[in-house]
Chain A
Amino acid sequence: MQTDKDLADKVYLLPVNPYFVEQVIKKEKPEGIMLGFGGQTALNCGLELNRQGILKKYNVRVLGTQVDSINKTEDRELFVKELNKINVKTPKSIAVTNVKAGLKAAKEVGYPVILRAGFTLGGLGSGFANNEKEIKKALDEAFSYSPQVLIEEDLRGWKEIEYEVVRDSSDNCITVCNMENFDPLGVHTGESIVIAPSQTLSNHEYHTLRDISIKTIRHFKIMGECNIQFALNPRSINEDGGFDYRVIEVNARLSRSSALASKVTGYPLAYIAAKLGLGYKLTELENSITKKTYSCFEPALDYVALKIPRWDLAKFPRVEEEIGSKMKSVGEVMAIGRSFPEVLQKAIRMLQVGKFGLVLNKSKTQTIKEDIITPTPRRLFAISRALRDGYSVDEVNNMSRIDKWFLYQIGLISDFRKLKISKEDLTYDFLLEAKKLGYSDKQIGILAGVDEDEIRKIRKSLGVLPVFKQIDTLAAEYPAETNYLYSTYHGDTNDIEETPQKDEKKIMILGSGPYKIGSSVEFDWCCVTTAKFLRKLGYKVVMVNYNPETVSTDYDICDKLYFEELSLERVLDIYEFEKPLGVIISMGGQIPNNLAIKLHDNNVWILGTSPHSIDKCEDRNKFSSILDRLEIDQPVWQELADLKQAKKFSNKIGYPVLIRPSYVLSGTAMKVCNDDRSVEEYIKEHAQISKDFPVVISKFEEGAKEIEIDGVGQNGELIIYAISEHVENAGVHSGDATLAIPPQKLYFETVHQIKRITKAIVKELKITGPFNIQFLAKENKVKVIECNLRASRSFPFISKATNYNFIEFAVKSILGHNIKGDYKTLDLDHIVVKAPQFSFSRLSGADPILGVEMSSTGEVACFGESMEEAFLKSLLSTGFRLPKKNILLTLGPLEDKIEFLDSARKLNEMGYDIFATHNTHQILKDHKIKSKLVYKINEKKTPNILTMLEKKKFDLVINTQSMKHEHKAMRDGYIMRRKAIDYNIPLINNLKIAELFVNSIYKYKPEQLEIKSMDEY
């Protein structure tokens, strides 16, 4: 959203690093700069700009919190020193370099202690010690891994509490919100289940921590917004009547937590922080919800909000499942309600991981005890199961250290689940009780052995309906002017009036749910753009979404915001209450798309392409026969119900094949198989192959190009489209691919065919609204691999690249406006490249390799005059560092080695030192390209790749792998890639990207990259 033209006067799509920011400063000459709004990236960049004297040189004033204050919160040593000055406690931690000093330090810190070995991977050498004997042993071990060991006090099991604090230039200071982590200390707050406000703190605890927050923030002279995290001892009181706490950290910027706190309270922290940075005072800024009161107050909540992180660990082969001090989650959801069980079950469903709530799910927890002791995404379910199986709250508390209050609350849900009921028991009181505990119709249905639809009917006939309440920042003390709404069964009156009849000017939009691998901010952009445009056209907009990280859940982006589940049940509740003209389901990605037919069956009016067409598109068999009828080519595929047939079919079409479950369950992966053995392995590992759960096998096309078309149709006519091209060959998931627009390497004939096919499909499915089709092209033969009758991940990208807002076209199309015209999207004067952003460094153990499963967690896009320029800017934007000297080349199959020769020669020419393993080295030598020989990891000779990686001898690793690798080589490759990531060495793992990269640095030095804003292109 922030790269939208209407949000700023000038938008530069450039890397956020000191070099590029300096260039922009030089060009734009701004008076001031704000550092606290772009997360750690922006903050670090700002600190560096200041350190290099660039801000001073160009006379740029830092607005908001000053650099000196930021430094004091970022530098651990300074931080502790400053807090000592004002008698605020921080965790005791002493760095030691030998056993003797370690013993002394442990005594000082006090047993039990935690040992942390510095500079090691995966927690090697870290542990706990309860006494001198234990620590001696632990220190010996730790020093074998690392020259430095931190001795820290053991705060495991302490509560983790956070406050969001705001301070203005007149020293008015308030805490907008406090939050309590469900998981005790040890689990990163971004990985924790978090509830707001705190639930287990007494007034004394709440306000003492609040006092310390304010004292600390005043001391650091924060101006604007920040957050402060505490550890709180859950067990004891000090001699002085106080309790034991530690300040863990202060973030002198807006953070993930501030975004959450804004959604929790309705207090717009970022907006206020920006105003305060400009010198406004809290007492003069209006409360934008009540429009009667001011911003110098602390919101009072009459509801609770619960956040649960969304993990996608199953997408990453070999990744460690344990959650702890590193962020592994890719998104989060927030549920609002009026009891803990209500929000807990809501939030679990919101995750969209195939759960119906806390209980009554298909998959059963197997390893209860382990899953409670070691935090993983399964912990919550293990706790509920344990309580149902007869574990006591005390036992679970001992294993997990989770506060008993939370466990009691979970117990309420699992106790209810034990009830044995049938249809006759579904009384008003029973259903209301179930609903108050957050049970969905689906869950009640399973419990009573009745269909979900039937439960809904019974429930409605008995009058068990949710009520919709407003979030108003003041717990009803003042009337609210905005419609920021949630549903609850803990109440009997709606805050707003039900719409009496179908409202002709009101449209409901379904949002995109949590960020996850494959669905991120792109769909939020689509929804927000739709909402804004509809309002511009005079419609009232009702938005339904629950992802606290999104703009679509800002209450001022629409007329009514329902911060609610995107389940059939809740969408129907809202639809029946609001009675809009219709619902737009094509902007929020796959979640709303999946509801199409079910909503339609429940008499919901779906705007745009007919739900029947969507069904035809989603059903593989139906879609395939449509393509056959239209004489459109597609990769050969078949649904297979046993292993024998699977192997037979694979051999018939020839390996490699792509294999996946017919019904995609969460976390079940696709795989490319090269032989019978790997098909067997896959089926054993992933799918219980049977008639009910068949697998789909399709021909995997090697060496093909992948092309995407995004467009808008109206009544079966193609209105506007954009074609983008993948840099990588087919086989890399489209979400992980590097995309270029306009396409650079397509034959005219290919483009022509793509257009012809697209028109035929648009016509056949009578598309009205957005769509996306993916193609494979090889030697001018085009095959369709996928079609989606909704906006795709690339809609914001192509809209920004072509300067045609495709969403506005889609909205007009849906509303029946006449939008025919001649739109030029192939012939642009510039090139835009979108590159994926990966997070492998956070995902310990995961193999940084590209494949048919998506693994990127974000994306960037940059403009350029040429493909190389746009690509290089994009790559730098992902945080990629250009190599200085040494490049390690390990290229997979022979074809890769040959293909890369030209590039290797260029690297030679530019003066880089190439290091290569035996085969690659030999081929380079044969072609008179200089390189140095290094030994493979398993060769155990020096110079060895492993030791050189560990000593950070390489500035870049280029590694490509064969589809048909041997096991040993695979393991070697994995270790090498993983080490590169762990030692923060840039890694290129695709041949096409490697070639493009070499061409780019061959053509451009960083200083030759143009500094141009979007509207200058």
Chain B
Amino acid sequence: MAQKQKVYLRLANGKTFAGYSFGKFGNSEGEVVFTTGMTGYPESLTDPSYSGQILVFTYPLIGNYGIPQFKRDDTAKTVQDGFESGKIQVRGIIISGYSFDYSHFDATGSLHTWLLENDIPGIYGVDTRELTKTLRTTGVMLGKITTEPEGGLFEVVDPNNTNLAGMVGVKEPVIYSPRKKNPKKILLIDCGVKNNIIRNFVKRGAEVIRVPLDYDPMNSEYDFDGIFVSNGPGDPKMCTNAVENLRKSFELNKPIFGICLGSQILGLSAGADTYKLKFGHRSQNQPCIELGGHCYITSQNHGYAVDTKTLPQDWSEWFVNNNDGTNEGVKHNTKPFFAVQFHPESSPGPNDTGWLFDKFIELL
């Protein structure tokens, strides 16, 4: 990085933020969102829920501890430790300060090199606080990273109009087996699942059958004890088949658990509505109250939410956000169907709600 190269972030509202290039020197476009988490940039960047998005880190020092080495996890084959999927999922990264020199015993390379390898552009030197305030007041919007300060029409395809979840998930079933014999089996509907969800199940001795988004549980070639609907990117209403399939599988009376997009899909299947939040929740410090219980600090990454008012009578709100009152989880009043909007698997973020995995596995 001998010469500093200027690059720009142009937003749909006409604002432009200037900074310097790191990672790939080139153009990109997507929905611009911000996260307020202070650690875990390798995890965030590989989180499939960020697919289609340009990610702004509000924390100003990024790259300090480099990028960890890829490690294969024996218990769950093909799941790499320290990463949430096999590649960088964001379309670009915007930060204030980039640490060209990193230090960590587990690091094998720099964030810059890793972005280069993945062909992803980054901008540093941006007033990310001002950018965040823009996104907070105007709402998340489309934007493009460009090497040209001016120029041309602002034409960006809204990634939310495509079935993002269908694109990031597996195309063929994959099975992850624990070491133990005769494990409980979970059918995992993959909308862009984070590796740590699979690790959490396998660690607890369950087998995970990871199937594509449109997979119909009613016509499954596998035996399973419960259904899990994963996190993922985009608008839940684009996942029409998955919503329909899940609604039909209520008949099986098998436990159903959803996380994030999975929660929204479960909500839609139940008959409730979902809507887009102005700027979403992307952070590691969201307080969620289990109604009648504790308040938990949770990790979140979502732009849509279930509209609590539209929940049918036999469903209830389970968790609620202590800050803005939005829905953070739903459950069926009598059947073992439940889901949370936040990320109990964390990575990055606090691990306070890991007990939800235990709860689900106990029901199987």
Contact = CB atoms under 8 A, between A and B. Distances in A.
Interface of A: 170-172, 174, 197-204, 206-207, 210-211, 214, 234-237, 241, 282-283, 292-294, 296-304, 338-340, 393, 403-405, 408-409, 411, 467, 469, 474-479, 490-493, 495
Given A203-B349, A300-B37, 16 more contacts: A174-B297, A200-B64, A201-B65, A202-B42, A283-B295, A297-B285, A297-B286, A408-B103, A475-B132, A476-B36, A476-B58, A476-B129, A476-B133, A478-B323, A491-B127, A491-B130
A200 B40 CA distance: 11
A490 B351 contact: no
B97 A405 contact: no
A405 B65 contact: yes
Interface string B107-126: 00000000000000000010
Interface of B is mostly: loop
A210 B348 CA distance: 13
A956 B38 CA distance: 54
B156 interface: no
B60 interface: yes
Interface of B: 34, 36-40, 42-43, 58-61, 64-65, 68, 81-82, 96-97, 99, 101-106, 125, 127-130, 132-133, 136, 279, 283-287, 289, 294-295, 297, 322-324, 346-352
A867 to B, nearest CB: 56
Contact of A405 (B39, B99, B106): B99
B105 A234 contact: yes
B61 A211 contact: no
A236 B105 contact: yes
Given A204-B82, A338-B97, A490-B60, A302 B323 contact: no
Contact of B103 (A237, A299, A404, A475): A404
Contacts of A204: 82
Given A237-B106, A283-B287, A294-B287, A301 B350 contact: no
**In the complex, which of the residues B34, B38, B105 has the most CB atoms of chain A within 10 Å of its own CB atom?**
B38
A304 B25 CA distance: 28
A282 B285 CA distance: 14
Contacts of B64: 199-200, 405
Nearest to A172: B295
A236 B104 CA distance: 10
B101 A405 contact: yes
A831 B324 CA distance: 56
Contact of B65 (A200, A237, A282, A338): A200
A929 B197 CA distance: 85
A302 B94 CA distance: 14
Contacts of B99: 405, 408-409
Contact of B127 (A197, A340, A492): A492
A235 B107 CA distance: 11
A210 B350 CA distance: 8
A294 B322 contact: yes
B294 A207 contact: no
Contact of B40 (A203, A294, A474): A203
A495 B136 CA distance: 14
B36 A475 contact: yes
B289 A283 contact: yes
22 contacts: A200-B103, A202-B42, A206-B38, A207-B39, A207-B349, A234-B105, A236-B105, A292-B323, A296-B295, A297-B287, A300-B38, A302-B128, A302-B132, A339-B61, A405-B102, A408-B103, A477-B34, A477-B36, A477-B132, A478-B136, A491-B96, A493-B127
A339 B63 CA distance: 13
A200 B61 CA distance: 10
A174 B289 CA distance: 13
B346 A491 contact: no
Contacts of A403: 103
A194 to B, nearest CB: 16
A476 B132 contact: yes
B352 A214 contact: yes
A138 B102 CA distance: 39
Q: Most chain-A CB neighbours within 10 Å: which of B58, B59, B294, B295?
A: B295
A294 B288 CA distance: 11
A174 B286 CA distance: 11
Given A298-B350, A302-B59, A408 B132 contact: no
Nearest to A233: B105
Contacts of A237: 105-106
B160 to A, nearest CB: 21
Given A197-B38, A304-B61, A297 B323 contact: yes
Nearest to A303: B60
Contacts of A493: 127, 130
Contacts of A172: 294-295
Contacts of B82: 202, 204
Nearest to A492: B127
Contacts of B286: 297
A202 B104 contact: yes
A474 B323 CA distance: 11
Given A210-B350, A292-B323, A199 B61 contact: yes
A237 B36 CA distance: 28
